[in-house]
Structure 1
Amino acid sequence: MVLRWLSLPLLALAFVLAPMKAAFAAYPEKPIRLIVPSAPGGAPDVLMRALADQLSRQMGVAFVIDNKPGGSYVIGTMELVRAPADGYTLAYANVVSLATNKSLLANVPYDAEKDLTLISNALRVVNLVVVNNNVPVKTIPELVAYAKKNPDKLAFGSDGNGTTAHLGMELFKSMTGVQMLHVPYKAATSAITDLIGGGVQVLMSNTPVIGPQVQQGRVRALGITSTQRSAAFPDVPPVADAVPGFEVVAWGGLVGPAHLPKDIVTRLNTEIRAALATPAVLEKFKALGAEATPSSPEEFRELSRRETEKWAKVVKSSGAKVD
């Protein structure tokens, strides 16, 4: 008799959970909003649109890109933090939002460990160090020599505080002893426009964005930030050839709000892995100079923690500040 009474609450709980389980099993049933915390035309936007198109085909619902630039990725990330944990609002998160913000910004309104569910890393992108065509240098050693002869007369642009474009150049300054002024922009496209026009003289930018400008001769590439040459830019030597130990790699993937149900995380991770293995996405990524790097949620979290420690040391040693 007692056992029968004890079973009633369990039976009631089963009735409550059954619809929830069915709902998750049917996921997704409507369009999914994918927040990209940067401006249209930048590397994250271009790459996420390629991935979103494939995910739409696989999952049978539209992935709608929602650009929310500004604030070192904080504006877009907070949009996600405030969203329901139902799988219908996701976001692109990268080295900025998951790693560098913690040490660079005085007040970060979210905790990457507690407020975000990491789903899968998606990509790896290296940068090019480029200069305005009127700057009289053609190699990294020549840039270092010129900058030392003209301290603070060169300005380098970036697509925002805390990005690899910003901190990568701060690392470059620290390792070479040169002095250059940092000019942050809200978007990579704006920084590139000013670079071409001479408003800034130096830029470190993701290959998907700056690559076409290099290929068209509008700017001059001096070095690539990976330790090996890129097949897309075989004539551009690694910066590390002149500055031993120098390496800067941008990365990013998909995240959800805190407490995103495990079955939805598993479904999304599976779909992202499949999408990143398709010829269409691989070819698009390769054309843009990006490498597909799917991961488990746990591997993505470990990458975030490792990079947080790395860039905290760079910020401290270089004295980098938010301008």
Structure 2
Amino acid sequence: MARRLSSVSLVLSFVLVALQGAAAQSYPTHPIRIIVLSAAGGPLDVICRAVAEKISVELKQPVVVESRTGAGGNLAADFVSKSAPDGYTLLFTLSTTLTVNPYLYKDLSFNLKPITVVNYSTQTLFVHPSLPVNNVSEFVAWAKKTGPVLYAHGGNGTSSHLVMEYFRLLAGFETSPVPYRGAASMVADFIAGQFKVSFGSTSGLLPLATAGKIRALAVSTAQRSPLAPDVPTIAESGYPGFELTTDFVLLAPGGTPDEIVSLLEREVRQAVSPAEFRDRFAKQDIWIVASTAAEAASRIKAGSALWADVVVRTGMKGE
């Protein structure tokens, strides 16, 4: 009897694998939906729509982009995580949804499968021009002498929050974070001198630095940004090895067949490979990565280890 049940189980396993393989070979047969963690016009939305437009041509199916914001990306991630693992509902989000949120919020359990890191963006350390500092060394000395540094960020767990908290742990000074819900009000208060320091989007705030309204001290990447070649990196400013970027990652529900993931990975990487596509987005501080699924998983794993430590040491909480 046991032998008969074992044989039946083996047959069913072969049937299941065969069905999955057949589904992958015929995929896609109807429109694909990508849930994006961004309001229309935001960086995530812009790059996602550009990629969706290109892969829809190759896949010969519409690829629809749907915005779902709120709860730091948790709502969108939960929705896709619980969707059918058939390749028709995907998630395009910041990697922090997986590397940071599980440590900021209780009872999060996303079952998601990496397809590719499409791109990354950068952060730059900016200060108000009234601050008597012109480089990172002077800033750190000032910060240690001043006491808790009042700085603004875009909300708990956002890139501007995370990078500053990581940097202050590394450099050894204290901070007093002020979260903002809107970029416009944060920028206005920064220019007015309501706070003196912030990490922010390189492309978003650099024009203000060029105009002399704020000052750029250093970028968070390993190499200088082509958008600001005269601005040094934090690594070359006394903190070797410092490198933080914000990854934009495409994910599928856990359990999605490897064949479908491989197909999507290949199509996305092909879509973003042309030089004109890369150059177009580089001007917006969107730097194409086009990783493999394995590389994406590795980056997420490394990010999780890093941010778990930072969240614990800073006592950071979700909003």
Report the TM range for the smaller structure's normalisation: 0.7 to 0.9
Measured in 2, the distance between the counterparts of 1:31 and 1:187 equals 34
Show the 5 A alignment for 1:14-163: 24-103=24-103, 105-111=104-110, 115-152=111-148, 154-163=149-158
Change (3 A) 1:200 1:281: farther
SS at match of 1:92: strand
Corresponding residue pairs, total: 310
SS at match of 2:140: helix
Matched to 1:252, the amino acid is: F
Q: Does 1:177 align with 2:176?
A: no
1:223-244 Cα offsets, whole Å, 9 max, x none, are 1112332222111111233341
Change (3 A) 1:66 1:160: farther
What is the CA distance between 1:33 and its match in structure 2?
2.2
What's the counterpart of residue 253 of structure 1? 249
SS at match of 1:204: strand
What is the CA distance between 1:17 and its match in structure 2?
6.2
Moved more, 270-279 or 173-182: 173-182
Change (3 A) 1:144 1:46: farther
The TM-score, its normalising length taken from structure 2, stands at 0.82
Change (3 A) 1:289 1:96: same
What is the CA distance between 1:309 and its match in structure 2?
1.0
Measured in 1, the distance between the counterparts of 2:76 and 2:189 equals 25
| Paired-residue identity, % | 31
1:76-121 Cα offsets, whole Å, 9 max, x none, are 2112123222322211233311212233x1414223xxx1011111
The TM-score, its normalising length taken from structure 1, stands at 0.81
Change (3 A) 1:212 1:83: farther
What is the CA distance between 1:293 and its match in structure 2?
1.5
Which ranges in structure 1 are unaligned for 5 or more consecutive residues? 1-5
Say if 2:21 and 2:259, in contact at 8 Å, map to a contact too: no
Say if 1:27 and 1:264, in contact at 8 Å, map to a contact too: yes
SS at match of 2:71: coil
Q: Does 1:232 align with 2:231?
A: no
What's the counterpart of residue 4 of structure 2? none
Change (3 A) 1:280 1:29: farther
What is the CA distance between 1:155 and its match in structure 2?
2.7
Show the 5 A alignment for 1:241-320: 241-245=236-240, 246-320=242-316
Change (3 A) 1:158 1:40: farther
What is the CA distance between 1:269 and its match in structure 2?
0.7
Measured in 2, the distance between the counterparts of 1:322 and 1:86 equals 31
Matched to 1:162, the amino acid is: G
Measured in 1, the distance between the counterparts of 2:107 and 2:38 equals 17
Measured in 1, the distance between the counterparts of 2:69 and 2:206 equals 22
Give the CA RMSD over aligned residues: 3.2
Measured in 2, the distance between the counterparts of 1:289 and 1:176 equals 26
Measured in 2, the distance between the counterparts of 1:208 and 1:56 equals 29
